[in-house]
């Protein structure tokens, strides 16, 4: 499924790379207009791109999103969710959105909240289904502003299963306050629609 076979030391090293990238993104999102810094960082990033582009590989061999031992599979696009409890039909964890995910007013961008729900609901659906699932729909209701740089609790669970259809719900909480709720439908893919293949 979404898992590679990586040595423990390689997992540690990649996890550190992703954490450093997240820290850079948070610092970038919080920086003022400083042309000297911007021009220097842009040149540095161009060198990163030149170093990385020759080693681009296909989906089955990429590392991003395939390191099961790391939070959110080591997916660099996502905020880290630390799972605190997991059963066959429920996952609980804590997450902290950094400045990179801010929409405005020191609150998390609504799209980032939905992004987190899509990942966590999808992983629970895929693990429970015993195969890859695809999001059919995902509805998010925003109940209160979601603060950045604050530990939040995420809880997702399976409501029911109907053949290849997995119906799930979730909540994102700050203490007793429900910041957002989500409900979604995930479809278990057929073998010909698996990893590395587009679905029609």
- What are the chain's domains? 1-75 (no CATH), 78-188 (3.10.129.10)
pLDDT, tens only, 88-146:
899 999 999 999 999 999 999 999 999 999 999 998 998 899 888 999 999 999 999 99
User: Sorting pLDDT into bands at 50, 70 and 90, what band is 192?
Assistant: low
Quote the pLDDT of residue 5: 81
pLDDT, tens only, 140-164:
999 999 999 999 999 999 999 999 9
Assess contact for 143 and 152: CB atoms under 8 A.
Answer: no
Nearby residues of 29 by Cβ (< 8 Å), 6 or more positions away: 98, 99, 100, 102
What percentage of the chain carries pLDDT values higher than 70? 94
What pTM, to 2 d.p., does this model score?
0.88
pLDDT, tens only, 44-54:
999 999 999 99
Assess contact for 104 and 114: CB atoms under 8 A.
Answer: no
């Amino acid at each position: 499924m979404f898992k590679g076979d990586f040595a423990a030391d390689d997992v540690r090293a990649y996890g550190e790379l992703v954490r450093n990238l997240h820290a850079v993104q948070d610092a970038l999102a919080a920086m003022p207009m400083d042309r000297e810094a911007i021009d220097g960082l842009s040149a540095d990033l161009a060198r990163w791109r030149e170093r990385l582009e020759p080693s681009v590989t296909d989906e089955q061999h990429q590392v991003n999103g395939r390191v099961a031992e790391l939070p959110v599979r080591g997916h660099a696009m996502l905020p880290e969710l630390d799972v605190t409890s997991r059963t066959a039909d429920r996952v609980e964890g804590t997450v902290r959105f950094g400045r990179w995910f801010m929409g405005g007013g020191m609150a998390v961008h609504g799209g980032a909240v939905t992004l987190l729900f899509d990942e966590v609901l999808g992983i629970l659906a895929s693990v429970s289904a015993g195969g890859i699932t695809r999001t059919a729909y995902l509805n998010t209701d925003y109940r209160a502003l979601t603060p950045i740089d604050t530990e939040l609790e995420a809880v997702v669970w399976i409501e029911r299963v109907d053949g290849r259809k997995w119906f799930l719900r979730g909540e994102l909480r700050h203490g007793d306050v429900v910041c957002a709720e989500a409900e979604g439908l995930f479809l278990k893919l057929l073998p010909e629609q698996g990893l590395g293949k587009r679905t029609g």
